[in-house]
Amino acid sequence: MKTTTPGMWNRLLGQEAAVGVLRASLASDRVGHAYLFVGPRGVGRAPAALALAASVNCLDDGCGTCAICAKVLRRSHADVHHISAEGGQIVVDQVRALREEASRAPFEGRMKVFIIDEAERLNPAAGNALLKVLEEPPSSALFILMTDAPDDMLPTVVSRCRRIDFVPLGFTEIVEILTQHHGVAEDRAAWAASAGGNLAAALRLSKDPAAEERRERHLSYPERLARAGLSSAISLAGEVRVEADEAVDRLKVRQKDEIKEHAEAYGEARGTAAARKRLEVRHKREARRTEQQTYEIVLTDLAAWYRGALLARHGDGAPDAQIEAALGDCALSAPTTSFVDALERIEATRVALSRNAQAGLALEALFMHLGSIG
């Protein structure tokens, strides 16, 4: 059964209903002009948008291996356009540029595809401009809007689109997808699912060979704090900052490739400056998200240690082998209440960092607190 599904589609797990509808439209050659992909981030909306964009252009049903599919996947296909918010909004100039682009014939493919991320960020003027395009869509254009908040969009725009719902994937489903379809070991899948928080991030983590090493380091923090106390708090906060910087550096290497591909696809011709600018804005946002994700993972690992310590105290055993190895003696010496307190502090720090608190200070305060207990 799986072998009959083209490559671009069989990567989409846990979204059978959405995939079924889209594949049926493709099979009957009745792909609409506008779709609204509704669902939380990281569950497969973006891969589904790429699969649809590839399928209407690929000569082999979205095979996933040909040059066309490869370009769509790398986001370097000249007829597949990605639109996202600039400074928090999608503005009318972006929609005007889209309209102009949509009116031209495809450059190298059969269909021009416009993938609009966070469509709820279309401001009213942009929404109205898009509505005009959707009312009389050019015959060779396909619009895919993605959102997790359709209620924040202009109802007239929503009603012009065919809505496809993507279901949220829970912890258990993410673990199941990782273990059964990606060959990830159970322990590691459970960690990636909780540290990543969504399927896309969990998948990335479980395939990152250095992730396990980093986890081991995070799990050693409580012991280092117990041994060296407050003097290690500042250096641990520094280590975490370095780790975040390194993650952003790795991202920048990938972004550089994308900039190069972009230049190859569009050249430096007139009118490409706006596209370059948009790419730059998206890259900055990705960098922020990557930094955030690093903190998220560190805090998840720390919380796992303290939760493991609590479990060990109650004689229930550690949740997994890696945590058990990291617990050591200090998990036995501190009072239970201090573990509960530590978990609360970690959660508070996570919330503060997600609200853009200054990372260095927030981490130092957390480590100082964790170093003072026990």
Helices 359-372 and 336-354, packing angle to 10 deg: 180
**Shortest distance, CB of residue 140 to Zn ion, whole angstroms?**
18
The shares of helix, strand and coil residues in the chain, as percent rounded to the nearest 5, are 65, 10, 25
- Out of 31, 63, 158, 281, the only residue in the binding site for Zn ion (CB under 5 A) is 63
281 binds Zn ion (CB under 5 A): no
Residues 344-363 that bind Zn ion (CB under 5 A): none
Considering the complex, state which of residue 66 and residue 357 has its C-beta at the smaller distance from Zn ion: 66
CA torsion angle 57 61 62 65 (round to 10): -110
Task: Report the alpha-carbon distance of residue 113 to residue 8 in Å, rounded.
Answer: 16
Within 8 A by CB and 6+ apart from 14, the residues are 43, 44, 167, 169, 173, 177, 199
Cβ neighbour number for residue 338 with a 10 Å cutoff: 16
**Shortest distance, CB of residue 46 to Zn ion, whole angstroms?**
18
DSSP secondary structure letter of residue 106: P
Residue nearest to Zn ion (CB): 58
Q: Which stretch binds Zn ion (CB under 5 A): 51-59, 94-102, 147-155, 318-326?
A: 51-59
69 binds Zn ion (CB under 5 A): yes
DSSP secondary structure letter of residue 11: T
Considering the complex, state which of residue 69 and residue 184 has its C-beta at the smaller distance from Zn ion: 69
- Out of 66, 78, 134, 330, the only residue in the binding site for Zn ion (CB under 5 A) is 66
Task: Report the alpha-carbon distance of residue 53 to residue 110 in Å, rounded.
Answer: 10
Considering the complex, state which of residue 59 and residue 321 has its C-beta at the smaller distance from Zn ion: 59
Residues 306-325 that bind Zn ion (CB under 5 A): none
- ∠ CA 114-266-271, rounded to 5°: 80
Considering the complex, state which of residue 66 and residue 158 has its C-beta at the smaller distance from Zn ion: 66
**Shortest distance, CB of residue 302 to Zn ion, whole angstroms?**
44
Considering the complex, state which of residue 58 and residue 237 has its C-beta at the smaller distance from Zn ion: 58
Q: Which stretch binds Zn ion (CB under 5 A): 56-64, 72-80, 81-89, 103-111?
A: 56-64
**Shortest distance, CB of residue 54 to Zn ion, whole angstroms?**
6
Considering the complex, state which of residue 111 and residue 190 has its C-beta at the smaller distance from Zn ion: 111
70 binds Zn ion (CB under 5 A): no
Considering the complex, state which of residue 58 and residue 174 has its C-beta at the smaller distance from Zn ion: 58
Task: Report the alpha-carbon distance of residue 324 to residue 96 in Å, rounded.
Answer: 57
Q: Which stretch binds Zn ion (CB under 5 A): 50-58, 72-80, 101-109, 329-337?
A: 50-58
**Shortest distance, CB of residue 20 to Zn ion, whole angstroms?**
20
106: left (phi over 0), alpha (psi -120 to 50) or beta: beta
**Shortest distance, CB of residue 72 to Zn ion, whole angstroms?**
8
Q: How far is CA 121 from CA 34, 148, 327, in A?
A: 17, 11, 45
- Out of 58, 169, 195, 312, the only residue in the binding site for Zn ion (CB under 5 A) is 58
Considering the complex, state which of residue 108 and residue 186 has its C-beta at the smaller distance from Zn ion: 108
Within 8 A by CB and 6+ apart from 182, the residues are 203, 206, 207
Considering the complex, state which of residue 22 and residue 98 has its C-beta at the smaller distance from Zn ion: 22
**Shortest distance, CB of residue 111 to Zn ion, whole angstroms?**
14
Long-range contacts from 238-242, C-beta under 8 angstroms, 24+ separation: 240/294, 240/295, 240/298, 240/363, 241/359, 241/360, 241/363
Contact residues for Zn ion (CB under 5 A)? Answer: 58, 60, 63, 66, 69
